[in-house]
Each structure stands twice: as C-alpha cells, then as structure tokens.
C-alpha cells in the first residue's frame, strides 16, 4: 500500500497488451484499445489522489504507423473522441494536458484539437498528463542533436558548453523532470524506444497484467514498490540524513 512519503514525482507508463487482451476474448484488437482508455481514466484518478505530479503515457509510437490501416484509423478516432470528451473533465480537475512526439504527423483535426487543449489547460497545476503520440525516443534524440548543431554553427552555443542539462532542454520533455518510475504492463521487459535518455535512473516496474486489466490497485502497488526501492543514482547507499528516493541536489 502506498503512503505519502517518497512518492514518485513523475510516473511514466508503457501501456502494453491491448491486442492480446482482446484476442484472448475473441474480440477485435481495437476492443482492447477501447477498454484501455477506461484504464487511463482510472490511473489518472489514482495518480491525482496519491499526489503524483507528472504522468506520461506511451499511447502511440512512430513505429505504430505500420500497423494495419484499420487499427491506426480506429486509434486516431479514439484519440479524437478522447480529446473532445475527456480533456474537458481533465480541465475541470486542474489537470494540464500535454503531448510529446510529432503532433503534426497526426491527422490535421486531431493535431488541432491537441494544440487547443494544451493551450486551454496550460496553467493547471494538479497534474501534468502527457500522452506520447507519434513518439520515438531515438528520433527525439537525433532532433535534439540537430538543434544543438545549428546553435553551434550559428555561434550562439559553444561545443564545450553542451552539458546534460543543455541537451535535455532540447528534448520534447524539456520542461518536466525525468521519470522516477517507469511501469510497463503485459509482462514484457522492453523499453520500445520510449524516453531512453530520460529514464537513465528511473526505477522499473513490470506488471504481468495486460493494460486493459490494469487498475487503480495495480498502480498503487507499483508506487508502493517504488517507495521501497533505494535509489543511488550511481552513488553509494544513502546516509541517514538522506531519504532513499530523493534526487541528489545539483546532480
């Protein structure tokens, strides 16, 4: 059971297993995605109740464009409905809606709704909900490298001034802390091109459940497991003065 100390500030989730969940029930794969949206709702509620500040969900990768056309168009329709129906409720609950990834890869109406919803909710403080859409971590890293190269070429940045902090500021996640906890469902032990730079020191938690079966209790259990972990960030075991899950300051 999670308690309120040592909470992860940022939880990221790879929501996996929608297709298998549906296939095991002789349902079309898309039914797994539909149920998956209900789980998103439940997990957002759990995160806000616990006091998690950032929740980042891997909803659609750049690689997912290669799925069958019908599945992709179903996911886009689901997303479009989500942007109409759910974001209003998020706003009422002081949740900021955010997207990382290549928004302009998405159908024009969906991209437009995303931008409007991000603008509308930008001052909300309770939780930042980020959906990764048409997202690829390697793409994000290459784009960051290109931006830094351009700045060096323009003479506004010296090569010697490129630090981890400077690099991080060129990523889609520039204005958020790195995830403290990364959850993946469906028992797969893979990162699937998700936040590769940002999860360098994240604690990993794999749930055997398919995403459509994941629930509030599972989320709370993952957070509880995180709270028991001792984070060292490459250093030694913490002293009595330093709580086990605190980031080292200035590091």
Q: How far is CA 227 from CA 58, 83, 180, in A?
A: 23, 33, 10
Task: Based on the shown chain and the rule CB under 6 A, indicate whether residue 101 belongs to the binding site for ligand FPP.
Answer: no
Residue 16 touching ligand FPP (CB under 6 A) = yes
Residue 15 makes contact with ligand FPP by CB under 6 A: yes
Within 74-93, which residues bind ligand FPP (CB under 6 A)? 75, 78-79, 82
Q: Is 20 in the site for ligand FPP (CB under 6 A)?
A: yes
How many whole angstroms separate alpha carbon 36 and alpha carbon 42? 10
Residue 100's DSSP bridge partners are: 132
Cβ atoms of 211 and 24 within 8 Å: the answer is: no
In angstroms, the Cα distances linking 122 to 87, 94, 128, 129 are: 12, 10, 9, 11
Q: Please give the backbone phi and psi of residue 239, each rounded to the nearest 5 degrees, phi first.
A: -85, 175
Per rule CB under 6 A, is residue 131 in the interface with ligand FPP? Answer: yes
Residue whose C-alpha is closest to residue 63's, from 72, 55, 54: 72
Q: How far is the CB of 144 from ligand FPP (least distance, A)?
A: 24
Q: Is 179 in the site for ligand FPP (CB under 6 A)?
A: no
List residues bridging with 232 in a β-sheet: none
Of 32-40, 104-112, 161-169, 242-250, the segment contacting ligand FPP by CB under 6 A is: 32-40
Catalytic site residue from 16, 178, 180, 218 = 16
The only residue of 33, 113, 184, 231 in contact with ligand FPP, by rule CB under 6 A = 33
Q: Which of 6, 26, 64, 160 is catalytic?
A: 64
So which residues are the catalytic ones?
16, 64
The residues of the shown chain that bind ligand FPP, judged by CB under 6 A, are: 15-20, 33, 36-37, 40, 59-60, 64, 75, 78-79, 82, 131, 211
């Amino acid at each position: 059971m999670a308690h309120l100390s040592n909470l992860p500030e940022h939880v990221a989730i790879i929501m996996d297993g929608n297709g298998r969940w549906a296939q095991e029930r002789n349902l079309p794969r898309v039914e797994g995605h539909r149920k998956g949206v209900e789980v998103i709702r439940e997990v957002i509620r759990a995160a806000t109740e616990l006091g998690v500040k950032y929740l980042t969900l891997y909803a659609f990768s750049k690689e997912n464009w290669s799925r069958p056309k019908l599945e992709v168009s179903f996911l886009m329709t689901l997303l479009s409905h989500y942007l109409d129906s759910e974001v209003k409720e998020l706003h009422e609950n002081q949740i900021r809606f955010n997207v990382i990834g290549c928004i302009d890869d998405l159908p024009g109406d969906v991209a437009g709704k995303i931008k409007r919803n991000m603008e509308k909710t930008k001052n909300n403080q309770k939780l930042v909900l980020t959906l990764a859409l048409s997202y690829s971590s390697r793409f994000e890293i290459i784009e960051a490298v290109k931006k830094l190269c351009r700045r060096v070429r323009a003479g506004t940045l010296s090569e010697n001034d490129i630090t981890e902090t400077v690099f991080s500021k060129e990523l889609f996640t520039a204005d958020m802390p790195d995830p403290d906890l990364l959850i993946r469902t469906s028992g797969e032990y893979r990162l699937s091109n998700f936040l590769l730079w940002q999860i360098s020191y994240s604690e990993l938690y794999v749930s055997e459940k398919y995403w459509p079966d994941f629930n509030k209790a599972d989320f709370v259990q993952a957070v509880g497991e995180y709270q028991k972990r001792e984070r060292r960030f490459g250093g030694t075991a913490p002293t009595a003065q330093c709580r086990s899950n605190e980031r080292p300051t200035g590091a």
